[in-house]
Copies of this chain bind each other. A is one copy, B any other.
Amino acid sequence: MTDDPYLIISSDCHAGLPTEEYRPYLDPRFHREFDDFLAGRDRRREEMTRLGVRNEAFADKWFHDNEEGLKGGWDAAQRLKELDGDGVAAEVVFPDADAVDSRTAAPFGVGLGLSGDQDPDLGMAGAQAHNRWLAEFVSQNPERHCGVALLPVTGEVDRVVAEIHRAKESGLGALMIPSMWVDKAPYHDRRYDPVWAAAAETGMPVVTHSGAAPRHEYGDHLGIYVSEVTWWPSRPLWFLLWSGAFERHPGLRFGVAESGCWWLPNLLWFMDRLYLGAHGGKKLSPFAELKRPPHEYLDRQVFICATNTKRRELAQRYEIGVDNILWGSDFPHPEGTWPNTANWLRNTFHDIPVAETRRMLGLAAAEVFGFDTAKLAPIAERIGPTPEDLGQSADQTAVEASWARSREVGRHWLTDHDFPVLGVQ
């Protein structure tokens, strides 16, 4: 069993049509606005270049070197070839295949840049266009894809709830909400309760993905953008948690994608201490909406689509929770591991216990997103790398032992230790 190939599920991949091809999926009432949107593409590309998010020379080389594989962004047959080549049996499919030139942006910018201040009518129309196409796309191989529906959640609640049910019935499996509500109601607001209830009822996890940020504040300083672009998608986590959304909706699952997981141990330590400290000293709690400490909600309902996990992050996995870390390749983005996933996995996971690697590379994601591991098993058997391929030792007893101290201390504030213990001992 230690030698079985890995069942790898990427919890962070991207697909999207070349923008103009969304037209037939878009309600014809919005075709005129769609022409205006298409006409603005050059201007938006210039803005990205100015901020430094886009680099002309890099873009040329990227498209030249990967011309065929990048078609997997919207071509199902090509996509399977690329997933197979990477050893990835299944995937969670976010929008915006093209992260370099935005050639596959969904109508009206409702992809990764989806933001709370989007015009509600255009936002829902654009989201539905993408959602309709994506449902078709994933239906070709439903066992290998979980399509993420775009959900402009700050709009009219009835329409948002209706779109959740429509998306679910169409075959999509998760919901992406904007990281930023901007001028709309923050996510602690009870107005969203019917939305969270519908997400729980349909079993669709709610996810944010990095991309949107208050760029108007950054000038043309790329470093500022990159330094905080992972903070904005993680922010809804503490808005939901402290307002009791996880308590009121125990079936709600919430995740943060492509924002790393390095920030989670500090956040959890900080929130647990706040909650437990208040409960230790006072009869009446200022946190009446919570019935248990933050880490219990986290382990029960929160997950991190941690994408290309760093070694520093893996060292912190006993604080984060091994089952809360969902690896992802970010195919077909250049910041991801495609098309060199096998090498990348070897460099990153070589000394991690096999049992834990299985959770982080696929089994945890299967549970969160509802993949059928029995159906995926033959695919994994055919394409998955083995522990040996990842350079992992046959002597797993020794490997487990080398991490024993780190695992035992775990979340040190709950195990009566002052410090975390990171790394092999």
Binding site for B on A (CB under 8 A): 52, 55, 58, 186, 188-189, 217-219, 221-224, 226-228, 231, 235, 238-239, 241-243, 262-263, 266-267, 269-271, 274-275, 282, 286-287, 289-290, 311-312, 315, 412-413, 418-423
| Contacts A286-B222, A419-B422 given; does A412 touch B217 at CB 8 Å | no
User: B residues within 8 A CB of A289?
Assistant: 221
CB distance from A302 to the nearest CB of B (A): 14
Q: Is the CB of A274 within 8 A of B226?
A: yes
User: B residues within 8 A CB of A186?
Assistant: 217-219
CB distance from A217 to the nearest CB of B (A): 5
Known A222-B287, A223-B274, A231-B231; 11 more pairs at CB < 8 Å = A186-B217, A221-B289, A223-B271, A223-B286, A224-B243, A227-B242, A227-B274, A311-B419, A312-B412, A312-B419, A419-B422
Of all chain B residues, which has the CB nearest A423? B419
User: B residues within 8 A CB of A241?
Assistant: 223
User: B residues within 8 A CB of A52?
Assistant: 286
C-alpha gap A224/B312 in the complex (Å) = 27
A-B contact pairs, 29 of them (CB 8 A): A55-B286, A58-B282, A188-B218, A221-B289, A222-B286, A222-B287, A223-B238, A223-B241, A223-B274, A223-B287, A224-B238, A224-B239, A226-B274, A227-B242, A227-B267, A227-B270, A227-B271, A228-B235, A231-B231, A262-B266, A262-B269, A262-B270, A269-B312, A311-B419, A312-B418, A315-B419, A315-B420, A419-B423, A421-B423
CB distance from A17 to the nearest CB of B (A): 30
User: B residues within 8 A CB of A223?
Assistant: 238, 241-242, 271, 274-275, 286-287, 290
User: B residues within 8 A CB of A315?
Assistant: 418-420
User: B residues within 8 A CB of A242?
Assistant: 221-224, 227
CB distance from A54 to the nearest CB of B (A): 10
User: B residues within 8 A CB of A189?
Assistant: 219
